[in-house]
Amino acid sequence: MTNVEKILAGAGPDVAPMLLGSVLSRTSEGREVSIRITEVEAYFGSRDPGSHAFKGRTTRNAVMFGPAGRLYVYFTYGIHHCTNIVCGPNGTATAVLLRGGEVLTGLETARERRRHPVQERTLARGPANFAQALGLDLSHNGLAVSGPEVVLSLPEVPVPSSSISTGPRVGVNGEGGSTEYPWRFWITGEPTVSAYRAASSRNRSKQ
């Protein structure tokens, strides 16, 4: 079992902070974009009212139920794709939403995909922008993060707990958005981390 597989064997709330500082890379048509993960959110299936899988398996969320180490990509508000990494044992439907990151390689490709001129620090800030910078959409749902197209690499030195902040998840309605679920984790002081936004009445669960 690789180090990545060992980490992804855990539940989302445990895995999420360990993914900070990791690099997710995608190679497509000879072009690679790599993003260092700086902000994440954890979700935990039937135990989590903020999760897409809270009420059980559906066609949309089936990938969340395992195996671990695959992407769960979903489409939201008719305009955005968001990307999660599935973790935990089969059947638990636990995953980590990739909320923000720093583009390390493939800056020009990421800019082309974003389609609008933006600052470098905002290229992958926010879950929709993260997915767009990597060029991920529903066709990549279920893709393994062990390659060859998508690869997750752990940091040589883990981000110390003293450099990690945590708080309520962004834009999640009801109980799942309360302080009882402080499952948003980010590297303190990182400019690529998105601003906190509470849920509005029209928002659904984020993942």
Per-residue pLDDT of the chain (207 residues; tens, 9 = 90+): 899 999 999 999 999 999 999 999 999 999 999 999 999 999 998 889 999 999 999 999 999 999 999 999 999 877 899 999 999 999 999 999 999 999 999 999 999 999 877 899 999 999 999 999 999 999 999 999 999 999 999 999 999 999 999 999 987 876 776 788 999 999 999 999 998 876 553 344 455
Q: What is the predicted pLDDT for the residue at 1? A: 83
- What length is written for the chain? 207
Domains of the chain: 3-187 (3.10.300.10)
The pLDDT, as a whole number, for residue 197 is 72
Which residues contact residue 110 at a Cβ distance below 8 angstroms, ignoring those fewer than 6 apart?
33, 103, 123, 124, 133, 134
pTM of the model: 0.92
Q: For the residues of 76-90, what is the DSSP string, one character each?
A: ETTTEEEEEEEESST
Of 188, 187, 183, 196, residue with least CA distance to 12 = 183
